[in-house]
Amino acid sequence: MLIIQTPADDIKLRRKVVSNYYILKWANNKVRRSGKESRMESFMDKSLSSGIFFLGLLWAVEPRVANWQLMTKGVTGNVDRKLSCSVFLLWDDIVEVRPKMVMIFVATVML
């Protein structure tokens, strides 16, 4: 579960509780609507280790970050730099499928 605080006005903060299920569902729907076929069953899904799902998710959010014709297995550009992201998830977090790191990454993309 993740608690997201967003400024509702100058004085109060609005809190929204987001479940892991909602984050997972959002990510899968986002990728599916973009026309990609990859999906994740859970944040522990071993198929996530390829990084293809995450690239599809980032592309679904901002199509300019990836040119699929230029992608080759094992050789990808720094999509995080193109999106001006803070880097807190490293390649080995993805390859080893660390569920908490994967969940935090996907939740951050939601924001």
- Structurally, the chain folds into a number of domains equal to 1
The CATH number that applies at residue 62 is: 1.10.418.10
Domain hosting residue 106, numbered range: 2-110
State pTM to two decimals: 0.73
Band the pLDDT of 13: cuts 50, 70, 90.
Answer: very low
Q: From residue 88, give the alpha-carbon distance in Å to each of 77, 91, 106.
A: 17, 10, 12
Sign of the CA dihedral running 88, 103, 111, 73: positive
Q: Are strands 2-7 and 13-18 parallel, antiparallel or unpaired?
A: antiparallel
pLDDT in tens, 62-94: 888 777 777 766 655 566 666 666 667 888 899
Question: Per-residue pLDDT tens for 47-56?
Answer: 999 888 998 9
